[in-house]
């Protein structure tokens, strides 16, 4: 399956796709994941350092993809490392996107059961989520990015309003002292936060969907920057409201913080239903993109139409989503997939770029 001119997307749409693919469920769990690793209020420094590392990874990914115009990672990696190794790399990235979409579906079912439909079986929620995602994904990349473009300002506005409202119960002392235990704990938090930045590796595919691939660096840096600012704002406000010790004990710390938020003027009595809308939108956008990339990878490997693979992935994603027996296993599944994303977004591009440099291939060279 090759990319046709009608599948091209703009630089803004690409940046939005990277942002929304990155934040996903992480927007709910990043304060807990960081504080569990750091044990101090210095997690905001881990977010900054992790963001810089993610930008370096984004630079590698785009540098690699731009060497093969009109081809995605699934098509050009075999040119670099041969069919066997290239096939393994492609399968790893496809597994990453399948696990990501399954993780998002299962996490959404857990959230909905806790905050909205307590008696509804999670199986029903997952099936409904998968089918609504399929309805969008079979239309191709353009309907997906147009929907993301429509959702993006709503998501960012809700994050901004929620976090700004949270400053009513914000205590600056909860973020002090800075570096009381040195820089060591901060670097422990970097590993945890790097998992939350997984999503920029989508530029292995998105770069060659762009109308102007020369602006791919700008798109990936913008996407990672927006994600980093969102994580910083959420982390600072949640820690300022709940303290480091309390956040470590909460499964969904952002959800717990939203219950404490009061909108000035009494316009909204309970803010958590609004946040539930935010969570559903962010999880859905991450799900449809990762679902589409998994189907596209299979279609390009087998050189067939994408739709049969999209339908064929439904039972696989359902089984993967329902496989974890409890919520702790769900989070472990997310962490494992995060490490696969880091391998796909940093180490594999480094290997391929090294071979390209040695063999002098790409950009029209043999």
Quick one: pLDDT at residue 272? 67
**pTM of the prediction?**
0.91
Tokens of 264: 């000035």
**Cα gap 232→188, rounded to integer Å:** 17
Domain boundaries, the chain: 5-356
**Cα gap 305→307, rounded to integer Å:** 6
Quick one: pLDDT at residue 364? 46
Tens digits of per-residue pLDDT, 141-189? 999 999 999 989 988 888 887 777 777 777 888 888 888 788 888 888 8
Q: Hey, what CATH class is 5-356 in?
A: mainly alpha
Where is pLDDT greater, at 362 or 44? Answer: 44
Q: What is the 3-state secondary structure of 17-75?
A: HHHHHHHCCHHHHHHHHHHHHHCCCCHHHHHHHHHHHHHHHHHHHHHHHCCCCCCCHHH
* Statement: residue 275 has pLDDT above 80: no
**Cα gap 111→355, rounded to integer Å:** 44
Quick one: pLDDT at residue 130? 93
Please say whether the beta carbons of 249 and 31 come within 8 A.
no
SS3 323: coil
Please say whether the beta carbons of 70 and 208 come within 8 A.
yes
Tokens of 363: 């950009």
Question: Which residue bears the tokens 């304060």?
Answer: 31
Tens digits of per-residue pLDDT, 103-142? 999 988 888 888 777 788 889 999 999 999 998 999 889 9
Q: Is 156 exposed, middle or buried (0-12, 13-18, 19+ CB in 10 A)?
A: middle
């Amino acid at each position: 399956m090759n990319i046709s001119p009608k599948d091209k997307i703009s630089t803004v749409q690409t940046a939005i796709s990277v942002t929304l693919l990155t934040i996903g469920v992480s927007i709910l769990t990043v304060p807990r994941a960081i504080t569990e690793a750091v044990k101090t209020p210095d997690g905001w420094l881990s977010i900054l350092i992790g963001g810089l590392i993610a930008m370096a990874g984004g630079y590698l990914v785009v540098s690699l993809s731009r060497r093969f115009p009109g081809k995605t990672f699934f098509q050009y990696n075999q040119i670099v490392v041969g069919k066997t190794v290239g096939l393994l790399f492609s399968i790893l990235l496809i597994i990453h996107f399948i696990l990501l979409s399954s993780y998002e579906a299962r996490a959404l079912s857990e959230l909905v059961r806790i905050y909205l439909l307590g008696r509804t079986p999670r199986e029903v929620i997952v099936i409904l989520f998968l089918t609504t995602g399929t309805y969008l994904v079979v239309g191709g990349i353009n309907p997906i990015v147009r929907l993301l473009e429509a959702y993006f300002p709503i998501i960012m506005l809700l994050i901004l309003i929620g976090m700004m409202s949270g400053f009513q119960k914000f205590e600056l002392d909860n973020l002090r002292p800075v570096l009381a235990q040195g820089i060591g704990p901060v670097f422990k938090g970097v590993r945890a936060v790097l998992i939350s930045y997984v999503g920029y590796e989508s530029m292995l595919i998105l770069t060659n969907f762009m109308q102007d691939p020369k602006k791919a660096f700008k798109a990936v840096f913008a996407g990672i920057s927006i994600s980093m600012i969102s994580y910083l704002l959420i982390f600072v406000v949640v820690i300022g409201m709940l303290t480091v010790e309390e956040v470590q004990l909460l499964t969904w710390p952002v959800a717990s913080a939203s219950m404490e938020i009061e909108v000035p003027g009494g316009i909204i009595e309970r803010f958590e239903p609004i946040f539930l809308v935010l969570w559903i939108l962010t999880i859905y956008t991450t799900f449809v993109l990762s679902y589409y990339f998994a189907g596209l990878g299979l279609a390009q490997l087998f050189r067939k139409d994408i739709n049969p693979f999209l339908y064929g992935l439904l039972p696989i994603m359902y089984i993967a989503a329902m496989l974890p027996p409890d919520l702790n296993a769900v989070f472990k599944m997310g962490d494992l997939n995060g490490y696969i994303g880091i391998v796909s977004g940093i180490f594999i591009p480094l290997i391929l770029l090294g071979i390209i440099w040695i063999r002098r291939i790409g950009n029209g060279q043999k």
